[in-house]
Amino acid sequence: TPSEAAELNTCFLRDIAAVISAAGERSQGVGVFTPARSEKEYEGIFPSHFDLIPQRGNGFGERLTNAADDLLHVGFESCCLINSDSPTATAEAFREAVTQLQDADDRIVLGPSDDGGYYLIGMRKLNRHLFEEIDWSTERVFAQTDERAREVGLKVHVLPKFYDVDDGATLRRLCEELLRGNSRDDIAPVTTKFLAELIAREGWERLCPQ
């Protein structure tokens, strides 16, 4: 149902925020929210030490560009933009991104998704070219972003691959991993609890049909 989907997305946010918090003292979590003036809706979702900034822009690329611009302009030496639908991404991957961005040379960090996109892009300075001429929401996003970076002479460090949960097949994959696999206890615990309770109530096949 729509309400269950919204609650699942909230679980994703809580788990991802916890992983960002666990990435180390050198990182500071910031939630980018929409619509404007809806900060109170995120109380209890993001940890109290997270900052919040409103999302700006119309298209996806414009919103990413503006988010990076806003973060770098308020004083962060680097920033990572992380999606909200890859709940199994790990603190180790985020720490690797932070470490890579400590180096003095100009580079970006990309975390590839199985569907050809990326779950993370990190940078020390904003280069708008990274978000131009990208076929958003297609399997070409990662490759095109890598190409844009190399066109302007940026090094690209690639993180371990994870997957987005955005359809029935990837939801089933998530359920299999969290509830039937051998995933670590610290991987998406809020999501795991929600899915376990939902399946106990509704049945496996309703949530994850073949």
From first to last of its 210 residues, the chain has per-residue pLDDT tens of: 889 899 999 999 999 999 999 987 778 999 999 888 888 888 889 999 999 999 999 999 999 999 999 999 988 999 999 999 999 999 999 999 999 999 878 899 999 999 999 999 999 999 999 999 999 999 999 999 999 999 999 999 999 999 999 999 999 999 999 998 767 777 999 999 999 999 998 888 877 776
**pTM: predicted TM-score of the whole model, two decimal places:** 0.93
pLDDT of residue 52: 93
User: Can you list the domains of the chain with their CATH numbers?
Assistant: 2-158 (3.90.550.10)
Q: Which residues contact 99 (CB under 8 A, 6 or more apart)?
A: none
Nearest C-alpha neighbor of 158 from the set 143, 138, 177: 143
Tell which residue, 156, 92, 75, has the closest CA to residue 122.
Answer: 156
SS3 call for 10: helix
How far is the C-alpha of 15 from the C-alpha of 187, rounded, in Å?
A: 8
Q: Can you give the pLDDT at residue 94?
A: 96
Residue 206's pLDDT is 76
Q: Give the pLDDT confidence of 103-153 residue by residue, as tens digits.
A: 878 899 999 999 999 999 999 999 999 999 999 999 999 999 999 999 999
CA angle 76, 87, 48 (to 5 degrees): 50
